[in-house]
Structure formats: structure tokens, C-alpha cells
Homo-oligomer: A and B are copies of this chain.
Amino acid sequence: MLTPNLKPTFLFPGSAFLFMMQITFIGTGGSAPTPSRGLPAIAVHAKELLLFDCGEGTQRQMMRYKVGYGSVRAIFISHMHLDHYLGIFGLLETLRMNSPSPKPLHIFAPSAFYEKFLAISGYKAANYKFVEIHAIRTEGDGKNEVKIYENDEFEVSAFPVEHGMRDAFGFVIKEKDKIKFHEEKAHGLGLKGKLFRTIQDKGEVTVGGKKIKLKDVSWVKEGARVVYTGDTTISKSVASAAKGAALLIHDATFSSESHASETEKREHSSAKDAAEIAKKAGVVQLALTHISARYSEKEDKNRLLEEAKAVFPVTILAEDGLVVDVK
């Protein structure tokens, strides 16, 4: 999907697709799987392969949808409900068996994850030296977004959501801001080749005796953002984190017309809730996920989609295997 206000841009000629994020929905069910929906997991190609949540069966889903599970560099667990993390143990075991020395893998999870890891995998911890576990903590008033991971081109932040428990997080995957050149102007002033690198490093460069300042020939393109809520009821922190995002992937466990229990309403969102947040945050596109097993029939799924579209038209209903490109 080409998002209308984020057309491909060029840092240097030929780099057209360098900063694309590709999102593959690995599992789009909620709580319990169905024959057509696996448990929560979303793969994001953001220079490296990152995995957000890892429900039971994720490794097999990744094989099925040809997302190279062997190249996952970091896994982010939104909260410690079983349907969001059980698959991590099987995936680690397969990675360990497939290679005598697997590449380092970072796991970011609520602090309670560590004891689960020890219990299931720890008895042969020597086999898991490639795994580094980090506890996610957000600071202060519990409303802040905290950067927890980065690579050359992207960074991942966590922010608290409202799921009726301590330590439930959403994530922002953000392309780093880029310096873009007004190419005609820059070329006109004689800027070419390695000088583009020099002016970025030093802030200015002298060409033919004339000093050219970076800010006079360039602008800053804010990086695209993809926001994944994990499980949450309607939450201000999501609206804030998602402001202007290219894609918001939101909990849409039930329909606003269904008789969801009070507990469910405190812990999850309806498709309509998700759409209202998307509208408030002014995102480009909304994807509904964490669909309850009760919506297995096509008409039920359409109901979810239609109620969201009535509020926020640019909405898709995630399906297992769906690929979305953010450019």
C-alpha cells in the first residue's frame, strides 16, 4: 500500500526502497486461535526483522508465510498473557537446533517474562547464550514513550496501554528522521558525490570558495511511524503515540454492537473504539487485529470492518498472512 502523504523519497539516487517498512500479520486472532487466525504476532521488516508478540504457533506461521524466522533480531512482547508470548519458547528452540551459534536475539518483555524463560528454557541455559532479555519499563507518570531499541535506520519505543494489568505496552516503530536535499538547488551550488556526505557530517561545506550550509539546501523528513497497541481498551496514550502515524495496528477484539462483558470492555477495544482513536490521532491507515474467535463468519468480520469504516474510512481488517508496505 502506498500511503498518500508518504510518497517514496530519495536520500541518494537508487536508495528508493531503503526505508520501507514491511509489515506481515503472522497471527491476527485474540486469546484463542481459530482455523483461520493464529495467535498474536506481527513481523516488521525495519532494516532488520522485528517481531511484535509471539503467540503459540508463531514459528510455524512464519514458515507458512515465508517470513524468515531465522533472521529475527528482536522480539517485543506487549504483555504477559499467554496468547502473546508462548510461541517464543518453540521459536528459540528451533533457532537453537538449526544453528550451532545462532545470531544474537534480543527479547524485550515485561519483567515477569524472565522467570517464565528460566522455567521453560533455563535448565539448559547454556544453549540460550544467544538470547538477551530486557525488561520493558516506562517512566514517571506511566504515560511516557520510552525508546528501547534501535538500529541504523529505525527505533522502537514502548508506551503503556490500558489492559487491566500492570506492564501492558504498545510499541512505536519509527523510521529515523532523514536529511533530504533540495536537489536542484544543491546541484546548482555545485554539490555532488561525496560532498553530500561531508555536508551532512559537518553541517557545511565549501565548494569553489563558497560556503554552503546544510540547512540552506536540505530539509528534515520526519520518519514514518507504525504503532501497534498490543491489547488495550480505548486509551489516551495510544492516541498520543499514534499522532500522524502511517499505520496504526489496533486491538479490535469485538464489535461495539456485541454483548462484550464488562471485563472485556475494560481490557479490549471494539472496532469502533479503534476507529475513533485512529481519527483522533490523524493516522494514515488503521489495521484492526486481535479479532475474537466469535467472528469467524464472513458477515461477522464485515461487521467489524464496516463499523470502523463508518468512523475512519481508511481501515483494513488484518488477516493472517496479510502484507502491508509502508513507504
Q: Which of A38, A87, A93, A97 has the most CB of B within 10 A?
A: A93
Tell me if A35 and B64 are in contact (CB < 8 A). yes
In the docked arrangement, what's the CA distance between A56 and B82, Å? 12
| A82 closest partner in B (C-beta) | B93
In the docked arrangement, what's the CA distance between A90 and B29, Å? 13
Supposing A119-B115, A119-B119, A120-B82 touch, asked if A31 and B97 sit within 8 A by C-beta, the answer is yes
Q: Is A258 an interface residue (CB 8 A)?
A: no
Number of copies: 2
Q: Is A206 an interface residue (CB 8 A)?
A: no
Cβ–Cβ < 8 Å partners of A94 in chain B: 31-32
Q: Is A60 an interface residue (CB 8 A)?
A: yes
Cβ–Cβ < 8 Å partners of A119 in chain B: 115-116, 118-120
Q: Is A53 an interface residue (CB 8 A)?
A: no
Cβ–Cβ < 8 Å partners of A38 in chain B: 60
Tell me if A56 and B120 are in contact (CB < 8 A). no
Supposing A32-B94, A94-B32 touch, asked if A86 and B56 sit within 8 A by C-beta, the answer is yes
Q: Is A110 an interface residue (CB 8 A)?
A: no
Cβ–Cβ < 8 Å partners of A120 in chain B: 82, 86, 116, 119-120
| A64 closest partner in B (C-beta) | B35
Q: Is A63 an interface residue (CB 8 A)?
A: yes
Cβ–Cβ < 8 Å partners of A63 in chain B: 33-35
Cβ–Cβ < 8 Å partners of A82 in chain B: 89-90, 93, 120
Cβ < 8 Å to B, chain A residues 20-66 = 31-35, 38-39, 56-57, 59-60, 63-64
Tell me if A60 and B35 are in contact (CB < 8 A). yes
Supposing A82-B90, A120-B120 touch, asked if A98 and B60 sit within 8 A by C-beta, the answer is no
Cβ–Cβ < 8 Å partners of A59 in chain B: 32-33, 56
Cβ–Cβ < 8 Å partners of A32 in chain B: 59, 93-94, 97-98
Cβ–Cβ < 8 Å partners of A35 in chain B: 60, 63-64
Q: Is A273 an interface residue (CB 8 A)?
A: no
Supposing A33-B63, A97-B31 touch, asked if A56 and B90 sit within 8 A by C-beta, the answer is yes
Chain A 57-98 near chain B by CB (<8 Å), digits 1 or 0: 101100110000000000000000011001101100110011
Tell me if A60 and B86 are in contact (CB < 8 A). no
CB distance from A124 to the nearest CB of B (A): 10
* A contacts, CB < 8 Å to B: 31-35, 38-39, 56-57, 59-60, 63-64, 82-83, 86-87, 89-90, 93-94, 97-98, 115-116, 118-120
Selected A-B contacts with CB under 8 Å, 21 pairs: A31-B94, A32-B93, A32-B94, A32-B98, A33-B60, A34-B60, A35-B63, A38-B60, A56-B57, A56-B59, A56-B86, A56-B89, A57-B57, A57-B60, A83-B90, A86-B86, A86-B90, A116-B120, A119-B119, A119-B120, A120-B120
